[in-house]
Amino acid sequence: MSSPRNWRGMPQRYRLEAAKCKKCGKVLFPPRLVCPECHGREFEPTHIGNTGKVETFTVIRVAPSGFTDQAPYAVAIVNVGDGVRILCQVADVEPEELAIGMPVKLEFRKVQSDGESGVISYGYKAVPVF
């Protein structure tokens, strides 16, 4: 993770900033230059919700470089409403507790330890709501 890349992603990873298409109302996370639904190019700033439901999940047991110290860890695709799904890790959960439909909330967590670049990356992770 290079410093510019880490910095560039902060509005989304730290603050869940998104864009709403002024033409069709689609919420884009992350924001884009053009709406893939209606090709609109004007947006208003918005945020995605910080709660949602697990639509699918897995437990990563063989991790890529940069994550080998964390394995095993859970990853899920979470529906946060407004037609937006995001992929993120699920923290504070045992693998056998994971289930499709499970309610979660997004919390601010450390995602990657400092690797070769020395950058520690933070962002959102889902945690179960019991």
Partner 1 sequence: MRDVAVIGIGMNKWGEVWEKSISDLIAESALLALDDAGLDKVDAMYIGCMSSGLFTDQEHLGSIGPDYAGICPTPGTRVESACASGGAAIRSGFLHVASGASDIVMVVGVEKMTDVDGAKATFALATAADQEYEVFHGVTFPGLYAMMANHHMNKYCTTRDQLAQVAVKNHKNGKLNPLAQFQMDVTLDQVKNAVMVSDPLTILDCSPITDGAAAVILCPADKAKSISKKRVVKVKGSGHASDTIQLAQRKDLSYLKSTEIAAKKALEMAGRKIGDINFAEVHDCFTIAEIMVVEALGAVEVGKGGPATMDGVTAVDGKFPVNASGGLKSKGHPVGATGVAQIVELVKQIRGTAEKGRQVKNANIGLAQNMGGSGASSVVHILEGE
Give me the residues that bind partner 1 (CB under 8 A), please.
Answer: 1, 5, 9, 13, 30, 36, 55-68, 70, 73, 75-77, 85-89, 95, 100, 111-112, 121, 123
In angstroms, the Cα distances linking 70 to 1, 60, 97 are: 16, 9, 18
Query: Maximum CA pair distance of the chain?
Result: 45
Reference 7, options 108, 115, 120, 116; nearest CA is 120
| 36 upstream amide cis, omega within 30 of 0 | no
Q: How far is the CB of 121 from partner 1 (least distance, A)?
A: 7
Rounded least distance, CB 45 to partner 1, Å: 18
To the nearest whole angstrom, how small is the minimum distance from the Cβ of residue 62 to partner 1?
5
Rounded distance, CA 46 to CA 58, Å?
Answer: 29
Q: How far is the CB of 117 from partner 1 (least distance, A)?
A: 13
